[in-house]
Structure 1
Amino acid sequence: MDQSIYQSLQTGIGLLLGCAVITPWLSGKRQWAGALNFLATLAAGLVFSGLAIQVLNGNSAPASFDLHLGGLAIPLLIDGFSAVFIVLISLVAAVTAFYCIGYMEMDHYRHYSLRSFHFCYPVFIAGMIALVTVDDLSTGFTIAWQMMTLASFFLIRFDHKDPVIVRSANKYLILMELAWAAVLAAGLMIPGCGWGTPLHQIADQLGMLDTGLRTLMLALVLLGFGMKAGMFPLGQLWLPDAHSVAPSPISALLSGVMLKTGIYGMIRTLFWMTPESMPARELQYWGLAVALIGVVTLFIGTSQSLKQVDAKRLNAYSSIGQIGYIILAIGAARFYLGPDAALHTLALLAILGAFLHVLNHAIFKSLLFLCVGSVQYTTGTKDLDKLGGLFALMPVTAIIAGIAAIAVSGVPAFSGFTSKWAIVASTLLSGKAAGIFVIFGVVALVTSAMTLATYVKLYGMTFTSVGVEWNEKNNVHEVSKAMLAPKAILAAVCLLQGFFPWLFVALFGRVLATSEGTLSQALGTPAVFDTLAQSYSGIRFLGSAGTPVAFSLPLVMVAMLLVAGLVALWLRRAGGAEERSAPVWLCGYQTLNNANRYLSSHIFDAFKKFMKWTGGNVRA
């Protein structure tokens, strides 16, 4: 046991809690307080990242400790799996804290004190870090969950003068407390387990239970963590309201990393808490049930996203859909780890897809919320019917938002494509051995097209169409460099994820090598992991005969696009084509104005009517 890891964890948490105590006293000097909040978050993030690197190097993994608080003993576990989540939370938290310095100076927030904001922000981050390091479902879990939930509740209701926002925050709090109660009840209902019992002991006792009680326990855990992750239908109860009313940087944290704590809990439950004595067929049933929930979540969430006219609600519903991909992959991997050894390599591809999509979604969805926040900051609205034409006025934000929109849509060569490719390939390649998963894969493919349509709408109605000319604010302009820098950092990470996926495949290998549990035992073997061939150009999935059966080669795709573009440019010039300018035909109208332009509400109108049964409908 390396005590330096334990000390680093204490130091990072201490920095955040110290910031929560000190920064509110400086809230009168708003930007100074924001700068101190950023520096403390950055310092804590660097400490956490150093801790994670030490764990992933393998010398001290997995590291387990007992934290003593008075008479309470809280078990802690830091392995490769939790280390990645620690880095992810730290990165998004630091970038978002820097963005907050400028964003919280928005006119709408100037009449609010930032004292509660700067108290809750670091406590929220500390709670998420604690949640992915505690190793129980009772004492430590309760402390971490309440830190995260209560702090985020006050951040969501920051604009508390609006009763709609207060109601949304209250609903969020009630449902998150119900989720906590479900997980806590599951941890305490097992005979021989009490407050502070580590997960491995819970797993041992779980194997001795009868099937009915074990099913109830696992169902409660998945219910609690699933509600936090936003799975259907629980996510629709709180997620769109909470994410759309919070300040945009808080929405980025909620969607980018807080939802992933629910995913973390689901993976821990299905791959760490399932005892070896548990029947393989029973585990496959759980995998099938989770995958079914995932495919419904991704389809319904994305369908509802397409219907929205509020940019933040659109992103919020989209988060439900993207989380559905991850849940589908988790369920598929759990199903494939059954008695059929031939499916184990597909389990590796599925859980790899889930891992990559956790990382990808955290970056591009945080980036999308920050871009929407910049638009709201300078225009005063997030209503797509009142936006348009911002590319000329906010070119840098438009380019960055374009990168994020392409990534979330799963366009080849960008980050979302690689992770969705792995998830869909793992389902379609199952064939006769698991035919139902082929159907799930087809649904996932169709949903990817719906995601593309959603972000064509969001991007087009915000940046490329007309509309901003009639906005109430006439001084629309690009946001400051201080607000552009965080978005540029996330965009760079997004491109790195897309163009060089093999780096993250290698990271996944380190996660398996530095973690214990079913995943590492079944998939961490050289024979299984060698089915993923890596090179500078991407990754390939190898069949049983060693021949490639599925590819993701982003750099090759980019090269092909560049060659095609150069050929098209040569043909255009060789033909001597000339450009002519002509007035736009306005269907008989003399002038274009806000009364006769095409609105966001009208886009895909026939499809939205056809999909009315999926819910999330918005009146034009």
Structure 2
Amino acid sequence: MDFNIYNGLMMGVLLLVASAIVIPLFARHRKLAGGLNFVVCLVAGVIFTGVACQVLTGAAAPATFDLHLGGWAVPLMIDGVSAVFMALISLMAAVTAFYCVGYMEMDHYRHYSLRGFFFCYPVFVAGMIGIVTVDDLTTGFTIAWQMMTIASFFLIRFDHHDKVIVRSANKYLLLMELAWVAILAVGLMVPGCTWGSSLHQIAGQLGLVDPGLRTLLLALTLLGFGMKAGMFPLGQLWLPDAHSVAPSPISAMLSGVMIKTGIYGILRTLFWMTPDNMPTQELQHWGMVVALVGVVTLFIGTSQAVKQVDAKRLHAYSSIGQIGYIIMAIGCARYFLGPEVGLHALALLALFGALCHTLNHAVFKGLLFLCTGSVQYTTGTKDLDKLGGLFGLMPVTAVVAGIAAIAVSGVPAFSGFTSKWAIVGSALLSGKAVGIFVIFGIIALVTSAMTLATYVKFYGMTFTSVGVEWNEKNDIHEVSASMLAPKLLLAAVCLVQGLFPFLFVQLFGRVLATSESAMTRVLGTPEMLSSLAQSYAGVTFRLGDSPVAFSLPLVMIAMLVVALLFALWLRKAGGAEERTAPVWLCGYQTLNSANRYLSSHIFDAFKKFTKWTGGNVRGA
């Protein structure tokens, strides 16, 4: 046991719990309390990130130890996978806490006390850290799950004067408690296991039980974690409502990191809870089922997102679709780890895509919710039919929202492209070996185009069209520096993720090297990692003594710059002249709100074609 890792983990959690008690005492001074909440989240985040770095760079991983609570011993484990999720939660918690300082000054929230908010926020963060570090499905899992769930419930219903918000929060709480019951039942139903049994013990016992009982137990676990992740059809029951009614920074936390705890649970279930003596064919069946659920989730969620006119509901449905990519990749990786050695490289690629998209989605979707929060803060609405023309009024928010929208759409040289291409490529390259996965890859590729359409609509109707000048107040302006800084930081991370993906290949290698499971023993070999680093993009360059691929984004940008310079030269050489003319208004003499194109009209034919997928709005 590494006491530095243990002490760091305990110090960070206790700091968050202590702040939940102390900071509400200062809630009357709203900005002071917000600043203190940010400082605590930042310090705790630095501690957790330090622990994560120590695990990822050290030789002692995975770090396992027990936390003694009275007569209970709670098993804890921090390996490479836990470390990445800890760092991700820490980043988003600190950034969002800083954003809250300004956002919670919004006129709509001024008549609410912030005591409950500043009590629940650090407890929420501590609960998520607990979920990714406990090593059981009973005692420690229950404590962490309830901290995360109950705190987030009160954060979602912060605007409790609205009955719709209260109903959405109540539904969220009910379904999350049902998910907890399903997972807890597994921990108690496994023969030979009881309160506090570790995942290693559970996996060992699952290898001894009847296949029918094992199928039931694994299904319950995936059901519970799938509910949290937003997997179809479970995500549609709560996610769009909860994410759209919560304060925008809380929506960023819910969509950015909380639903990723469900992804973490699915990873643990398929790669850590499956016993070593489990038949390969049975494992591949689970991989096929999970991949199928993933592809349905990504298609249905994205097609529902296209139909939305509420910006936050659009982001929420889009989150379901993006989670579908991750679930599909996890299922593909589980299937590819079968007896065919030739498919193991594709398992590595799919798993890299899943982890990379988890990180990417947390950043760009959190950024999109923060940008929408800024729009709502200054205009008072998130209805796309009432927005438009904000590029000139909120230029910084418009630019960072554009970066996030391009990233989520998977445009080359931005963060979403790398992870989506890894996921789609792993499915398409399976070829004749697993023909159904080729179909999955094609669906995922088409769905990426649907995501692009969704965010062309969101960005166009919010920033580049006209309309806000007729529908909302006239004193619209850019938000304060305290609300801009977090968005600029996340936008910078998006660019780094897109331009330098080889950094994440190296991180992925450390995750495999510091995680102990049958998966990592097969995929974490130097030969496998070398094949990923050298062959992924087809373009390599040398970083020190090692050849590294993933230079493709930089190569593409260089080609675009050359093409742009050539176009400018050609234009100048041809003597082209510019002239201005009034906009043609299709026969209307003046442009006003009565004759402009609305968000609810965009992609009308497509919305009618996909009416069967649900999520229909205003007759769509």
- Under TM normalisation by the shorter chain, which class is it? over 0.9
Aligned to 2:206: 206
The structure-2 alpha-carbon separation of the partners of 1:147 and 1:59, relative to structure 1 and needing over 3 Å to count, comes to same
Opposite residue 586 of structure 1, the aligned amino acid is L
Equivalent residues in 2 for 1:205-284 (5 A)? 205-284=205-284
Aligned to 1:447: 447
- CA–CA separation in structure 2 for the residues paired with 1:133 and 1:244: 29
- CA–CA separation in structure 2 for the residues paired with 1:321 and 1:332: 17
- CA–CA separation in structure 2 for the residues paired with 1:363 and 1:260: 12
1:176 equivalenced with 2:176 (yes/no): yes
TM-score, normalisation: structure 1: 0.97
1:575 equivalenced with 2:544 (yes/no): no
3-state SS of the aligned residue for 2:584? coil
- CA–CA separation in structure 2 for the residues paired with 1:33 and 1:485: 19
- CA–CA separation in structure 1 for the residues paired with 2:453 and 2:324: 18
The structure-2 alpha-carbon separation of the partners of 1:438 and 1:552, relative to structure 1 and needing over 3 Å to count, comes to farther
Opposite residue 593 of structure 1, the aligned amino acid is N
Aligned to 2:544: none
Aligned to 2:613: 614
- CA–CA separation in structure 1 for the residues paired with 2:60 and 2:31: 40
- CA–CA separation in structure 1 for the residues paired with 2:475 and 2:320: 35
3-state SS of the aligned residue for 1:531? helix
Aligned to 2:425: 425
Aligned to 2:117: 117
Percent identity over paired residues: 77
CA deviation vs aligned residue, 1:456-509 (integer Å, no higher than 9, x gap)? 000000000001111331100000111100000000011000000000110000
Opposite residue 136 of structure 2, the aligned amino acid is D
The structure-2 alpha-carbon separation of the partners of 1:291 and 1:16, relative to structure 1 and needing over 3 Å to count, comes to same
1:506 equivalenced with 2:496 (yes/no): no
- CA–CA separation in structure 1 for the residues paired with 2:240 and 2:264: 21
Aligned to 1:559: 558
Q: Report if the CA contact (8 A) 1:12-1:48 is conserved.
A: yes
Aligned to 2:469: 469
Opposite residue 411 of structure 1, the aligned amino acid is V
CA deviation vs aligned residue, 1:572-594 (integer Å, no higher than 9, x gap)? 11111111111112122111111
1:60 equivalenced with 2:60 (yes/no): yes
Of residues 383-392 and 57-66 in structure 1, the stretch that sits farther from structure 2 once superposed is 57-66
Aligned to 2:320: 320
Of residues 53-62 and 203-212 in structure 1, the stretch that sits farther from structure 2 once superposed is 53-62
Q: Report if the CA contact (8 A) 1:155-1:250 is conserved.
A: yes
Shift of 1:541: 9.4
Q: Report if the CA contact (8 A) 1:502-1:534 is conserved.
A: no
CA deviation vs aligned residue, 1:393-442 (integer Å, no higher than 9, x gap)? 00000000000000000000100000000000000000011111000000
- CA–CA separation in structure 2 for the residues paired with 1:402 and 1:199: 42
Opposite residue 221 of structure 2, the aligned amino acid is V
3-state SS of the aligned residue for 1:66? strand
Opposite residue 585 of structure 1, the aligned amino acid is W
3-state SS of the aligned residue for 1:76? strand
The structure-2 alpha-carbon separation of the partners of 1:540 and 1:214, relative to structure 1 and needing over 3 Å to count, comes to farther
Aligned to 1:545: none
Shift of 1:186: 1.1
Equivalent residues in 2 for 1:157-168 (5 A)? 157-168=157-168
- CA–CA separation in structure 2 for the residues paired with 1:211 and 1:541: 46
Aligned to 1:191: 191
- CA–CA separation in structure 2 for the residues paired with 1:95 and 1:515: 28
CA deviation vs aligned residue, 1:259-306 (integer Å, no higher than 9, x gap)? 100000000000011111100000000000000000000000000000
Shift of 1:354: 0.2
Opposite residue 599 of structure 2, the aligned amino acid is S
1:590 equivalenced with 2:581 (yes/no): no
The structure-2 alpha-carbon separation of the partners of 1:178 and 1:540, relative to structure 1 and needing over 3 Å to count, comes to farther
The structure-2 alpha-carbon separation of the partners of 1:195 and 1:541, relative to structure 1 and needing over 3 Å to count, comes to farther
Shift of 1:375: 0.3
- CA–CA separation in structure 1 for the residues paired with 2:576 and 2:222: 61
3-state SS of the aligned residue for 1:126? helix
Shift of 1:534: 4.7
Moved over 3 A (4+): 538-542
3-state SS of the aligned residue for 2:101? helix
Aligned to 2:14: 14
Aligned to 1:107: 107
Opposite residue 557 of structure 2, the aligned amino acid is V
Shift of 1:552: 6.8
Shift of 1:250: 0.1
1:406 equivalenced with 2:410 (yes/no): no
TM-score, normalisation: structure 2: 0.97
Q: Report if the CA contact (8 A) 2:539-2:552 is conserved.
A: no
Aligned to 2:296: 296
Opposite residue 599 of structure 1, the aligned amino acid is L
3-state SS of the aligned residue for 2:533? strand
Aligned to 1:329: 329
- CA–CA separation in structure 2 for the residues paired with 1:437 and 1:176: 31
3-state SS of the aligned residue for 1:68? strand
Aligned to 1:600: 599
Structure 2 portions without partners, runs of 5+: 541-546
Q: Report if the CA contact (8 A) 1:532-1:540 is conserved.
A: no
Q: Report if the CA contact (8 A) 1:379-1:471 is conserved.
A: no
Opposite residue 472 of structure 1, the aligned amino acid is E
- CA–CA separation in structure 1 for the residues paired with 2:576 and 2:597: 31
- CA–CA separation in structure 2 for the residues paired with 1:576 and 1:29: 62
Shift of 1:551: 6.9
Shift of 1:58: 2.1
Q: Report if the CA contact (8 A) 1:502-1:539 is conserved.
A: no
Opposite residue 138 of structure 2, the aligned amino acid is S
Shift of 1:248: 0.2
- CA–CA separation in structure 1 for the residues paired with 2:103 and 2:59: 42
The structure-2 alpha-carbon separation of the partners of 1:90 and 1:573, relative to structure 1 and needing over 3 Å to count, comes to same
Opposite residue 384 of structure 2, the aligned amino acid is L
- CA–CA separation in structure 2 for the residues paired with 1:128 and 1:252: 14
3-state SS of the aligned residue for 1:530? helix
CA deviation vs aligned residue, 1:141-179 (integer Å, no higher than 9, x gap)? 000000000000000000000000000000000000000
3-state SS of the aligned residue for 2:76? strand
3-state SS of the aligned residue for 1:77? strand
- CA–CA separation in structure 2 for the residues paired with 1:53 and 1:90: 12
Opposite residue 265 of structure 1, the aligned amino acid is G
- CA–CA separation in structure 2 for the residues paired with 1:517 and 1:242: 35
Shift of 1:517: 0.5
- CA–CA separation in structure 1 for the residues paired with 2:538 and 2:530: 10
Of residues 599-608 and 57-66 in structure 1, the stretch that sits farther from structure 2 once superposed is 57-66
- CA–CA separation in structure 2 for the residues paired with 1:261 and 1:358: 10
- CA–CA separation in structure 1 for the residues paired with 2:248 and 2:586: 38
Aligned to 2:543: none
The structure-2 alpha-carbon separation of the partners of 1:262 and 1:599, relative to structure 1 and needing over 3 Å to count, comes to same
Aligned to 1:128: 128
Opposite residue 616 of structure 1, the aligned amino acid is G
Q: Report if the CA contact (8 A) 1:531-1:541 is conserved.
A: no
Shift of 1:539: 4.5
Shift of 1:519: 2.0
- CA–CA separation in structure 1 for the residues paired with 2:518 and 2:331: 14
The structure-2 alpha-carbon separation of the partners of 1:104 and 1:288, relative to structure 1 and needing over 3 Å to count, comes to same
- CA–CA separation in structure 1 for the residues paired with 2:484 and 2:589: 39
Aligned to 1:309: 309
CA deviation vs aligned residue, 1:592-617 (integer Å, no higher than 9, x gap)? 11111000000000111011010000
Equivalent residues in 2 for 1:515-526 (5 A)? 515-526=515-526
3-state SS of the aligned residue for 2:60? coil
- CA–CA separation in structure 2 for the residues paired with 1:371 and 1:93: 16
- CA–CA separation in structure 1 for the residues paired with 2:419 and 2:270: 20
CA RMSD of aligned residues (A): 1.3
